[in-house]
Chain A
Amino acid sequence: MITLANITGSAPKRVLPGFGLSLGISLTFVSLMLLLPMTSLFGQLSGISLAEYWRIITDGRVVASYIVTIGAAAVAALVNAAFGLLLAWVLVRYDFPGKRLLDALMDLPFALPTAVAGITLATLYSSNGWMGRLLDPLGIQVAYTWVGIALAMAFTSIPFVVRTVQPVLEDLPNEVDEAALTLGASDATAFRRVILPHLWPALVTGTGLAFVRSLGEFGAIIFIAGNAPYETEITALMIFVRLQEYDYVGASAIASVVLAVSLALLLAINIWQGRFIKRLHGGRG
């Protein structure tokens, strides 16, 4: 008997149309949405020599901005990793009134224009704001310091951690930790040896995405950063300044550094994750 599989070759039936068509559309889409802007970005760079490029991206003030940006993004990502994990845990494992609301609230940073977030945070944390007034006597300055920058980054990137950990946690039934406990593991051991390994890949991906998102954030940070040269200037501002000077090449050069770092990190996470999952499943994954 002739089956559908025989007609279309060995491939089993899929919901979406044939491989050729779907891959074709995917590639066209990727080219238009991602590769074309990237190409034009790097096209801007073709006019300068390598020495010139190096001079632009290693300018003292720009380097200072890398340190501020990467440092603050790292702090923001780590804070988000801890609290994002906790939030996902609470949302998955417990039932409480207002859970739906809290769940919906998690996406708010994606929905809110980042500039609005930045202005709101600056209002709250400046020395005459609600929070700033409480922190000021303790000698803690948030607005117009790098702490403010990290805060704005943490705000805009928290959904990445929550939303990547949440589904994985949902797939991990209660029985797993109960089994660990009945087998004599302490709470800490059960968390560390049983639960965490399952969440680890998702947590690292979420944290990585949050970090990369923070590297490129502009709108939310610019209002709370204070933008003092060498101290609280972020790399995105350096790019903005070059554009103000009609210096497209300089802007593209600095942007290419951010892009390269982001891409390298995302790639590293992907590769590491593949290996980790393989190891977790004893090479069968």
Chain B
Amino acid sequence: MSATSLFRRGALGASLAAALTAGMVTPSVAAERELLNSSYDIARELFSAINPEFIAWWQAEHGEEIDIQQSHGGSSAQARAILQGLRADVVTYNQVTDVQALADDGLVAEDWQDAFDNNASPYYSTTAFLVRKDNPKGIESWDDLVREDVDIVFPNPKTSGNGRYTYLAAWGFADDQFDGDEEQIHDFMRTFLGNVSVFDTGGRGATTSFIERGIGDVLISFESEVNNIRGEYGSDDYEVIVPPVSILAEFPVAVVGPNAERNGNLDLAEAYIDYLYSEDAQRQLAGFNYRVNNEAVAEEFSDQFPETELLRVEDVFGSWDAAMEDHFANGALLDQLQRR
């Protein structure tokens, strides 16, 4: 099944479904062992494509029938559910900080980023723009977004990891542009945030505002998401712009050790994450417009992913912890920049 057809529900349907089933576990038939994957909101289609492949692979390798349950929701809310006792075996999130929150509580190994390749991120993406047909406002990069005539839509950085990446990408660009001059960066960011028409709480909500309600000149979201949207809503009506500089968005994975052990799923959980690095899974991921590290697959899909300079959060902001503390904590820079 192609990525597009899985995406076919549309943003409205998806956001309805998201609102109704956030945090709910998809029911399925009984099998000998069940693995619970706690994942982020917009990964529904992705994992409903990958899971059957893994189940078949495991059956062929080990002759055991297993089942995988999915739980989707905002990644912070998902992590909170595990902190409060949800017995998920693995987490596949879109924010390093949410896995870190589990690690801080001892539910995930302290060195979880070394447990798997590429900082435990089997695939990655960046932040890109979706503009309307023929790009009427001529938006090519971040500095076009602070123009007076441009209205932006992206999810609230206060409630969405996706929104936080957008904020950090814009900051990274400004930091580069103004050579670290704080006053100029702050001015840039203030204008940037002031150009936002609607602050939806999540990525799919922002998509709905941009597509269904016709709000704004540009939607900023993960490159994977804007490509999926364009595929869904017609390549004639929208264009994807990948800015020359953007941020590296990692999709961290981890085994929730104590839970997997208690559920007797430790081997299964590790195999599941390993599988995400396999060539088959990487090809599927690329089909969903995520960038992957597998060289053969990356080569195969190279047309799909324009070369762009990807800033690392660790390089620009020191660390995720520092970025959270300096920018997103209560009363930190984001709050100050939005203050009246």
Q: Which residue of chain B is the closest to A222 with respect to CB atoms?
A: B201
Q: Which residue of chain B is the closest to A228 with respect to CB atoms?
A: B199
Q: Which residue of chain B is the closest to A229 with respect to CB atoms?
A: B338
Docked complex Cα distance between A123 and B197 (Å): 16
Q: Which residue of chain A is the closest to B337 with respect to CB atoms?
A: A229
Point out the residue from B20, B198, B209 that lies within 8 Å of A113, measured CB to CB.
Answer: B20
In the assembled complex, the CB of A218 is this many whole angstroms from the nearest CB of chain B, namely 10
Interface-located stretch among A160-168, A172-180, A243-251, A263-271? A243-251
Q: Do the beta carbons of A119 and B12 come within 8 Å of each other? A: yes
Chain B 180-222 interface 0/1 with A at a Cβ cutoff of 8 Å (1 = within): 0000000000000000111111000100110011110000000
Q: Do the beta carbons of B213 and A143 come within 8 Å of each other? A: yes
Q: Return chain B residues, CB-CB under 8 Å to A247.
A: 330
Known: A119-B12, A128-B213. A250 touches B201 (CB 8 A): no
In the assembled complex, the CB of B21 is this many whole angstroms from the nearest CB of chain A, namely 11
Q: Which residue of chain B is the closest to A238 with respect to CB atoms?
A: B158
Q: Do the beta carbons of A144 and B198 come within 8 Å of each other? A: yes
Q: Do the beta carbons of B19 and A244 come within 8 Å of each other? A: no
Q: Do the beta carbons of B213 and A241 come within 8 Å of each other? A: no
Q: Return chain A residues, CB-CB under 8 Å to B159.
A: 237, 240-241, 244
Within 8 A of A (CB), among B127-167: 156, 158-159
For the complex, is A155 an interface residue (Cβ under 8 Å from B)? Answer: no
Q: Do the beta carbons of B19 and A245 come within 8 Å of each other? A: no
Known: A116-B19, A244-B76. A123 touches B12 (CB 8 A): yes
For the complex, is B301 an interface residue (Cβ under 8 Å from A)? Answer: no
Q: Return chain A residues, CB-CB under 8 Å to B331.
A: 59
For the complex, is A71 an interface residue (Cβ under 8 Å from B)? Answer: no
In the assembled complex, the CB of B96 is this many whole angstroms from the nearest CB of chain A, namely 15
For the complex, is A61 an interface residue (Cβ under 8 Å from B)? Answer: yes
Q: Do the beta carbons of A129 and B213 come within 8 Å of each other? A: yes
For the complex, is A214 an interface residue (Cβ under 8 Å from B)? Answer: no
For the complex, is A122 an interface residue (Cβ under 8 Å from B)? Answer: yes
Q: Return chain A residues, CB-CB under 8 Å to B76.
A: 244, 246
Q: Do the beta carbons of B330 and A250 come within 8 Å of each other? A: yes
In the assembled complex, the CB of A12 is this many whole angstroms from the nearest CB of chain B, namely 49
Chain A 202-237 interface 0/1 with B at a Cβ cutoff of 8 Å (1 = within): 000000000000000001001100111110000001
Q: Do the beta carbons of B213 and A122 come within 8 Å of each other? A: yes
Chain B 6-35 interface 0/1 with A at a Cβ cutoff of 8 Å (1 = within): 000000100110011000000000000000
Within 8 A of B (CB), among A101-142: 113, 115-116, 119, 122-123, 126-129
Q: Return chain A residues, CB-CB under 8 Å to B330.
A: 59, 242, 245, 247, 250
Q: Do the beta carbons of B212 and A60 come within 8 Å of each other? A: no
Q: Do the beta carbons of A227 and B19 come within 8 Å of each other? A: no
Q: Return chain B residues, CB-CB under 8 Å to A115.
A: 16, 19-20
In the assembled complex, the CB of B74 is this many whole angstroms from the nearest CB of chain A, namely 7
For the complex, is B62 an interface residue (Cβ under 8 Å from A)? Answer: no
Docked complex Cα distance between A119 and B12 (Å): 8
Q: Do the beta carbons of A227 and B329 come within 8 Å of each other? A: no
Q: Which residue of chain B is the closest to A62 with respect to CB atoms?
A: B330
Place the interface of chain A in its size category. 20 to 34
Q: Return chain B residues, CB-CB under 8 Å to A128.
A: 213-214
Which of A123, A129, A222, A223 has the most C-beta atoms of chain B within 10 angstroms of its own C-beta? Answer: A223
In the assembled complex, the CB of B215 is this many whole angstroms from the nearest CB of chain A, namely 7
Docked complex Cα distance between A229 and B335 (Å): 9
For the complex, is B262 an interface residue (Cβ under 8 Å from A)? Answer: no
Q: Do the beta carbons of B201 and A219 come within 8 Å of each other? A: no
Docked complex Cα distance between A245 and B76 (Å): 8
Q: Return chain A residues, CB-CB under 8 Å to B340.
A: 60, 229-230
Q: Do the beta carbons of A246 and B101 come within 8 Å of each other? A: yes
For the complex, is B328 an interface residue (Cβ under 8 Å from A)? Answer: yes
Known: A61-B335, A119-B15, A244-B76. A226 touches B197 (CB 8 A): yes
Point out the residue from B205, B329, B335 that lies within 8 Å of A223, measured CB to CB.
Answer: B205
Q: Return chain A residues, CB-CB under 8 Å to B158.
A: 241, 244-245
Chain B 58-90 interface 0/1 with A at a Cβ cutoff of 8 Å (1 = within): 000000000000000010110010000000000
Docked complex Cα distance between A128 and B209 (Å): 11
Q: Return chain B residues, CB-CB under 8 Å to A123.
A: 12, 212-213
Q: Which residue of chain B is the closest to A144 with respect to CB atoms?
A: B198
Q: Return chain B residues, CB-CB under 8 Å to A219.
A: 19
Q: Do the beta carbons of B198 and A226 come within 8 Å of each other? A: yes
Q: Do the beta carbons of B199 and A226 come within 8 Å of each other? A: yes
Docked complex Cα distance between A242 and B208 (Å): 25
Docked complex Cα distance between A223 and B16 (Å): 11
Q: Return chain A residues, CB-CB under 8 Å to B213.
A: 122-123, 126-129, 143
In the assembled complex, the CB of B251 is this many whole angstroms from the nearest CB of chain A, namely 19
Docked complex Cα distance between A237 and B158 (Å): 10
Q: Return chain B residues, CB-CB under 8 Å to A129.
A: 213
Q: Return chain A residues, CB-CB under 8 Å to B80.
A: 243, 246
In the assembled complex, the CB of A269 is this many whole angstroms from the nearest CB of chain B, namely 32
In the assembled complex, the CB of A147 is this many whole angstroms from the nearest CB of chain B, namely 15
List 9 A-B pairs, minimum CB-CB distance, nearest first: A115-B19, A126-B213, A227-B199, A229-B338, A128-B214, A241-B158, A226-B198, A244-B76, A230-B340
Known: A126-B209, A229-B338, A245-B330. 15 other contacts (CB 8 A): A59-B330, A61-B338, A61-B339, A119-B208, A126-B215, A127-B215, A227-B198, A227-B200, A228-B198, A229-B199, A240-B201, A241-B156, A241-B158, A243-B80, A244-B77
- Chain B interface residues toward A at CB < 8 A: 12, 15-16, 19-20, 74, 76-77, 80, 101, 156, 158-159, 196-201, 205, 208-209, 212-215, 328-331, 335, 338-340
Q: Can you pick out 15 interface pairs between chain A and chain B where the beta carbons lie within 8 Å of each other?
A: A59-B331, A60-B340, A123-B12, A126-B209, A126-B213, A128-B213, A223-B200, A226-B197, A228-B196, A228-B199, A237-B159, A243-B80, A244-B159, A245-B158, A246-B76
